[in-house]
Amino acid sequence: MGLDIIREISHKYGSNPNYVLAGGGNTSYKDEHFLYIKGSGTSLATIENNGFVKMSRKSLDKIWEKTYSKEQDKREAEVLADMMGAKCKGEEAKRPSVETLLHNLFIQPYVLHVHPTMVNGLTCSNGGKDTMEKMFPNAIWVEETEPGYTLAVKCRERIGEYEKRTNTRANLLFLQNHGVFFAADNAMQMDILVDEVMDKFKKSITTLPDLQKIDFDVNKIEKIASKIKECYEKDVYVKFTINKEVERLCSSYDSFEILTRPMSPDHIVYCKAVPMFLESIDNITGQYKKFVNENKYEPKIIFIKNIGMFAIGKSEKDSLVVSDVWMDAVKISVYAQSFGGVRHMAPDMVDFIANWEVESYRSKVNLNQKGLKYEKNSKLYCKSR
């Protein structure tokens, strides 16, 4: 019964792009003895009961009793080994979400973790914590922290402090530059909680992104896309997007500058840490080579002044996901203006996410999933040789 309910909760929110993009987010159900957590890389929109990893809560609780290495990489490896060891018999081939420990902290049976764009307008803003305390006085705020065990430790401390201070169960937790956790006793409570939170955001946001579609010269864009594709050694797909917000951002480098640093881990995982901005279409190859030399990777996002946005992927799926995730960044940069302006991720956190094996695994698995849609004010160009 509980698995059926969390499956339906997962489908409801996982299929709604206002809550989930590119397979991000995770869900869980727990009873007294077991935690059933979404498998890493599994799509919330299509997950079935066997997509959840059954884990021993007793074994997970023992992790808090152990002392791990003070050296970061070694510590994370030790914790990961113990977490994998908490999987029940028959679950060996599955990989539980990296946030498993965090899910197990909530008392409520059902937990939903998502990255709604409106919510991240607040979590990725300079006034995030202060605004959250005014909007949601019964919520918990956790500052930007390395994911995995380190984040779970901090959340455990904050949840414990909150429950001791208020003598109530924590059911709402915001992660700076990341997303939000909802916890509930049943599906109805979950929907009520999510609706209450999102309604407050809709009323609090004063500036909305202008996504009005703009016509473009197809022949001109095809020629530019062809030049971009020639820069890459392997076959690539290029998706072009233009709307009023993208038009504003690509009007000058000064306007684009707000996007030059990532706002959330998803932006790094799917689009790399730095997008590329071209002042003109002259010598695209030379500018591309310079970017690769400076950043040590090929650009996934290219903005061209007064033209629009190009998302590059190794497959159709990849290019569409890259475009959707970067448009999420565009929207967040606008929503954040209602909460004191954009707060970008700290440089050391960007480096951590960029090199984190778990996130790399998640993006690779998610990019193999099916079911894609894209806006009409865009065009997809496939590379062929």
Q: Give residue-wise pLDDT tens across range 335-364.
A: 999 999 999 999 999 999 988 755 444 445
The one-letter amino acid at 16: N
pLDDT for 378: 60
CA gap 47, 50 in Å, rounded: 8
Please give the average per-residue pLDDT across 56-72, as a whole number. Answer: 95
Whether 375 has a pLDDT exceeding 70, the answer reads no
pTM comes to 0.91
Number of neighbours of residue 247 by Cβ within 10 angstroms: 17
Third-level CATH fold of 218-382: L-fuculose-1-phosphate Aldolase (3.40.225)
Res 370 pLDDT > 50:
no
State yes or no: pLDDT of 27 exceeds 70.
yes
Band of residue 41 on the pLDDT scale cut at 50, 70, 90: confident
In the chain, ranges of CATH 3.40.225.10 domains: 2-204, 218-382
The whole-number pLDDT of residue 233 equals: 87
Would you identify the CATH topology of the domain 2-204? L-fuculose-1-phosphate Aldolase (3.40.225)
Residues 6+ apart with CB under 8 A from 78: 68, 69
Average pLDDT estimate for 62-73: 93
Please compute the mean of the pLDDT values over residues 232-246 and round it to a whole number: 96
Does the pLDDT of residue 112 top 90, yes or no? Answer: yes
| pLDDT at site 118 | 97
Phi, psi (degrees; rounded to nearest 5) at 172: -150, 120
**In whole angstroms, what is the distance from residue 238 CA to residue 309 CA?**
10
Question: Bigger pLDDT: 116 or 365?
Answer: 116
Per-residue confidence band for 382, with pLDDT thresholds at 50, 70 and 90: low
